[in-house]
Amino acid sequence: MGEGLVFALSMVLGTYFIYKSNVRELNLSRRQSNFLLSVSHELKSPLTSINLSLETLKKRTLPQEKIIELADVALKESKRLENLISDILVAAKLDHPYTPKKQWLDLISIIHNLINGYTAQYPSVAIRLHTDVEEALLFASKQDMQSIFTNLIENAIKYSHEEPIHISINDQKENWLIEVADLGPGIPNSEKSRVFQKFYRLGREETRTSKGTGLGLYIVKKIVESHNGSVRINDNNPKGTIFTLLLPKVAGNEGVIG
Ligand code: ATP
Ligand code: MG
């Protein structure tokens, strides 16, 4: 009787763990196939435009404005390819134990520079920075901080369709509290932790219209964690998403400012 019970219990436990690991595998393979679908599309479509622009430039004698227009298309698309390849490489690097190369830097100037770049690129989107401090010093990797805020601002622009974006920086003693808030469609509670998984995108690849590979927030989370910080998602009011980051000013015993 006792033996039977132990046997039955191990069968139930065994089945449960096999089921759990199958579900995990299935989710991963679903995400990877979504990734392949989106990456092949993301790689192919800029290459097609670049080829087309170069072929038109080569074949015909064109007015100067047309030449500039075609060259701009090719440049924009090659920048897109460069970003995609860089995301894939950064994500692969972050899969392994990673120690950021840190220096003292000012978060306000990093975010300001990014906002200036995006405002020039998307003049119809208002991006505002709110803070009470003049400098937000932090011992961190410059490239990593740029990567975090590039991804969050790009998402806010991409998913909120020209609504204003508000970024705030608050002093919380040992940490900086940074919020990136948009008025987009928001992220349902059931998806809030999933969006940080590698390759994860909301909805199905076939029906999705926005460009992307689902690597951005994976990169953000990994970088934030490598700086001993945290990131979470809250709902904005009346609608949209707030990405809330807590970044230690000095993570560990890296020394004194200056
Ligand atoms: P990319 O790798 O180019 O960044 P992506 O934007 O799809 O691609 P993530 O940045 O990782 O990938 O975001 C994952 C998913 O989370 C997105 O596909 C989108 O569905 C959702 N998401 C991210 N940011 C927002 C936002 N601000 N508002 C609404 N949904 C968002
Ligand atoms: Mg993104």
Chain segment 154-179, per-residue pLDDT in tens: 999 999 988 999 999 999 999 999 99
**Dist. CA 77–CA 71, nearest whole Å:** 10
CATH code (residue 10): 1.10.287.130
Number of domains in the chain: 2
The pLDDT score that the predictor gives to residue 39 is 74
Q: Say which residues have a Cβ less than 8 Å from residue 184's Cβ, sequence separation at least 6.
A: 156, 159, 160, 161, 163, 239, 240, 241
To the question of pTM greater than 0.75 for the whole model, the response is yes
Task: Tell me, yes or no, whether 220 lies in a domain.
Answer: yes
Which ligand 1 atom sits closest to the C-alpha of 243? 27
Q: Tell which wins on pLDDT, 222 or 11.
A: 222
* Per-residue pLDDT band at 257 (split at 50, 70, 90): very low
- pLDDT bin (cut points 50, 70, 90) of residue 23 is confident
254 located within any domain:
no
Low-confidence winner among 13-27, 82-96, 235-249 (lowest mean pLDDT): 13-27
Nearest-angstrom CA–CA distance, 32 and 201? 11
Query: Do 107 and 216 belong together in one domain?
Result: yes
Mean pLDDT confidence for 166-195:
96
Closest CA to ligand 1's atom 6: 212
d(CA 32, CA 143): 27
| Same domain as 71, residue 6 | yes
Residue 214 C-alpha to ligand 1 middle, in angstroms?
6
215 C-alpha to center of ligand 1: Å?
A: 8
**Over 80: is that where the pLDDT of 34 sits?**
no
Q: Name the domain boundary from 59, 94, 129.
A: 94
Pocket lined around ligand 1, Cβ cut-off 6 Å: 87, 151, 155-156, 159, 182, 184-185, 187, 195, 200-202, 212-218, 241
pLDDT-derived band at 94, boundaries 50, 70, 90: very high
Q: Which residue has the higher pLDDT, 94 or 204?
A: 94
Tens of pLDDT, residue by residue over 207-225, are 567 778 889 999 999 999 9
Range of the domain at 145: 103-248
Last residue of a domain, one of 74, 94, 114: 94
d(CA 178, CA 196): 18
Q: Of 94, 115, 130, at which residue does a domain stop?
A: 94
